[in-house]
């Protein structure tokens, strides 16, 4: 019999890749979309157009326990992936209460619905945890055993979701696992996250349709991987006999500035750097300023450094990323350049 998967967050970057991945594995995929005043299914339209037989869209919202119960009890899934979130760290400082409703209590709503389901010991649950929980890092590199120290309402809310997942696993014997995923990007990445903002900005500068790219902290370091590799890891965690938590990361870290430099190299765009810290500026070959920093994009408290240790996933899940840093940049740059050119 075909397995049934339910994806919360299917219209997002990871959810859309996960839907592609599970359909290839012959799952029946049920995906949740939110009511929105404009179309929000761009990332899954390609599936809907050609694979309607195994793909089902439902309106829902993770903050509404009535809808969560109704969907879980009627779909009767084998696997539930909770990828739904207010996922922007900077925005979480502006809407902390809402971020907690979605990122913390949303997870609880799903776990409660599983607990009250007749199939409760058969349903597997995946919680989309994050390296943001390490925040002000207490150890390098960060592994499953590193203590957490979140630095934003986003990180704090995700930490609740992490621990409530462990609590429901221990208290009610649910198959509930946490992925602790480091940053992962792709051509489907939201346009306000730094990598996509850079790939779009530099492509537009190269094509002469944007003059300047204005960013925040260029010296924060992130362990960046590709979303396609990371959704495979999510699935692998759900295929284990016992639920466990896993760090997923590449084991390499780069500054935001290095990301810009790699993009510029691949675009054959020369940048001459001058100044330090917030005064750092990038100039083109004609001496025109094309990159500068603004306080506007700095956060009230920053996560300066992230570097993951995914040894456990590599040995237990046999997980290995296919994309390295320059392949990731290439995929994003190629996609944005082609799209913008046409």
Task: Report the first-to-last Cα separation within the chain, whole angstroms.
Answer: 44
Q: Which stretch binds ligand GDD (CB under 6 A): 38-46, 49-57, 84-92, 118-126?
A: 84-92
On the 0-12 / 13-18 / 19+ scale of CB atoms within 10 A, 144 is: middle
Which residues face 274 on adjacent strands? 281
Q: How far is the CB of 18 from ligand GDD (least distance, A)?
A: 15
* Residue 36 binds ligand NAP, judged by CB under 6 A: yes
Which residues face 305 on adjacent strands? 221
Residue 154 designated active-site: yes
Q: Distances in Å between the alpha carbon of 19 and those of 7, 9, 61, 76, 228?
A: 8, 10, 18, 17, 11
Residue 8 designated active-site: no
Q: How far is the CB of 3 from ligand GDD (least distance, A)?
A: 27
Single out the residue of 16, 87, 250, 253 in contact with ligand GDD (rule: CB under 6 A).
87
Query: Which option in ligand NAP, ligand GDD, none does residue 34 bind, with CB closer than 5 to 8 A by kind?
Result: ligand NAP
Q: How far is the CB of 18 from ligand NAP (least distance, A)?
A: 9
Bond from prior residue into 141 cis (ω within 30 degrees of 0): yes
Q: How far is the CB of 107 from ligand NAP (least distance, A)?
A: 9
Q: Distances in Å between the alpha carbon of 102 and those of 14, 35, 125, 299?
A: 17, 15, 17, 21
**Beta strands 213-215 and 289-293, pairing class:** parallel
CB burial string 184-201: b at 16+ within 10 A, e below: bbbbbbeeebbbbbbbbb
Query: Which option in ligand GDD, ligand NAP, none does residue 62 bind, with CB closer than 5 to 8 A by kind?
Result: ligand NAP
Q: Distances in Å between the alpha carbon of 55 and those of 32, 75, 84, 146?
A: 11, 12, 18, 39
Question: What is the C-alpha to C-alpha distance for residues 62 and 74, in angstroms, rounded to an integer?
Answer: 16
Single out the residue of 299, 311, 312, 314 in contact with ligand GDD (rule: CB under 6 A).
299
**What's the 3-state SS for 241-253?**
CCCCCEEECCCCC
Residue 132 designated active-site: yes
| Contact pattern from residue 62 through residue 81 relative to ligand NAP, giving x for each residue in contact according to CB under 6 A and a dash for the rest | xx------------------
Residue with smaller CB distance to ligand NAP, 282 or 308: 308
Q: If you write DSSP's letter for every residue of 200-236 in order, what string do you get?
A: HHHHHHHTTS---EEES-TT-EE--EEHHHHHHHHHH
* Residue 254 binds ligand GDD, judged by CB under 6 A: no
Single out the residue of 169, 197, 228, 257 in contact with ligand GDD (rule: CB under 6 A).
197
| Near ligand GDD in 125-144, by CB under 6 A | 130-132
Q: Distances in Å between the alpha carbon of 49 and those of 26, 44, 68, 186?
A: 17, 9, 26, 22
Residue with smaller CB distance to ligand NAP, 128 or 290: 128
Single out the residue of 71, 181, 203, 260 in contact with ligand NAP (rule: CB under 6 A).
181
* Residue 220 binds ligand GDD, judged by CB under 6 A: yes
Q: CB of 130 within 8 A of CB of 142?
A: no
Q: How far is the CB of 230 from ligand NAP (least distance, A)?
A: 8
* Residue 83 binds ligand NAP, judged by CB under 6 A: yes
Q: How far is the CB of 23 from ligand NAP (least distance, A)?
A: 17
Q: CB of 109 within 8 A of CB of 175?
A: no
| Near ligand NAP in 120-149, by CB under 6 A | 128, 130
Q: Which stretch binds ligand NAP (CB under 6 A): 55-63, 143-151, 239-247, 284-292?
A: 55-63
Catalytic (active-site) positions: 130, 132, 154
Binding site for ligand GDD (CB under 6 A): 87, 89-90, 130-132, 182-183, 192-194, 197, 215-217, 220, 222, 256, 297, 299, 302-303, 306
């Amino acid at each position: 019999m075909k397995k049934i998967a339910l994806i919360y967050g299917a219209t997002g970057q990871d959810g859309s890749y996960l839907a592609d991945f599970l359909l290839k594995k012959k799952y029946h995929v049920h995906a949740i979309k939110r009511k929105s005043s404009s179309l929000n299914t761009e990332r899954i339209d390609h599936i809907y157009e050609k694979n309607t037989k195994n793909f089902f869209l439902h309106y829902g919202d993770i903050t509404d326990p009535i809808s969560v119960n109704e969907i879980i009890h009627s779909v009767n899934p084998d696997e539930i992936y909770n990828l739904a979130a207010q996922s922007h760290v900077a925005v979480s400082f502006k809407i902390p209460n809402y971020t907690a409703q979605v990122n913390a209590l949303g997870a609880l709503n799903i776990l409660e619905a599983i607990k009250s389901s007749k199939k409760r010991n058969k349903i597997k649950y995946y919680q989309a945890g994050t390296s943001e929980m390490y925040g002000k890092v207490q150890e390098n590199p960060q592994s499953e055993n590193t203590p957490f120290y979140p630095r934003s309402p986003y990180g704090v809310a995700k930490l609740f979701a992490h621990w409530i997942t462990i609590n429901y696993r221990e208290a009610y014997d649910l198959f509930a696992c946490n992925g602790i995923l480091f940053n992962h990007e792709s051509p489907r990445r939201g346009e306000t996250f730094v990598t996509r903002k850079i790939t779009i900005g530099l492509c537009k500068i190269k094509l002469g349709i944007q003059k300047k790219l204005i960013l925040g902290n260029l010296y924060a370091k992130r362990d960046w991987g590709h979303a396609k590799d990371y959704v495979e890891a999510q699935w692998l965690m759900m295929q284990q006999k016992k639920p466990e938590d896993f760090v997923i990361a590449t084991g390499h870290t780069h500054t935001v500035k290095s990301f810009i430099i790699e993009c510029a190299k691949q675009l054959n765009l020369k940048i001459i750097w001058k100044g330090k810290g917030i005064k750092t500026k990038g100039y083109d070959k004609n001496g025109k300023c094309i990159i500068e920093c603004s306080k506007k994009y700095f956060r009230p408290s920053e996560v300066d450094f992230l570097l993951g240790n995914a040894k456990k996933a590599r040995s237990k899940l046999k997980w290995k990323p296919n994309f390295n840093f320059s392949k990731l940049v290439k995929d994003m740059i190629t996609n944005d350049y082609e799209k913008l050119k046409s």
